[in-house]
Amino acid sequence: MDSSKRIDKGIKRQVVESYEHEKKKLPARKVKDEERNSIKEDAYKRLEIGETTDAIAASHNVPGSTLRYWLLNDPKANAARLSLVHAEMARTLDDMKEAAHPLALARAREEFRAWSWLAERRHPDLYGQKQEVTHKVPEPLKIVVSAQQTAPFVTFDNDSQTVIPDTSST
Written in H, E and C, the secondary structure of the chain is CCCCCCCCCCCCCCCCCCCCCCCCCCCCCCCCHHHHHHHHHHHHHHHHCCCCHHHHHHHCCCCHHHHHHHHCCCHHHHHHHHHHHHHHHHHHHHHHHCCCCHHHHHHHHHHHHHHHHHHHHHCHHHHCCCCCCCCCCCCCCCCCCCCCCCCCCEEEECCCCEEEECCCCC
Supply the pLDDT for residue 166. Answer: 64
* Residue 142 is assigned to a structural domain of this protein: no
Are 67 and 91 within one domain?
Answer: no
Number of domains in the chain: 2
Do residues 64 and 87 share a domain? no
Residue 56 falls inside a structural domain: yes
What pLDDT digit, counting tens, does each position of 138-160 carry?
Answer: 887 777 777 666 666 666 666 66
State the residue range of the domain holding 58: 30-72
Mean pLDDT by 10 residues, the chain (170 residues): 71 66 62 90 91 89 89 89 89 92 93 93 86 82 72 64 62
Model pLDDT, residue 25: 64
Note whether 91 and 121 are same-domain residues. yes
**Same-domain check for residues 51 and 83:** no
Q: Would 140 be classed as within a structural domain?
A: no
**60 and 101, same domain (yes or no):** no
Residue 166 lies in a domain: no
Same domain, 88 and 49: no
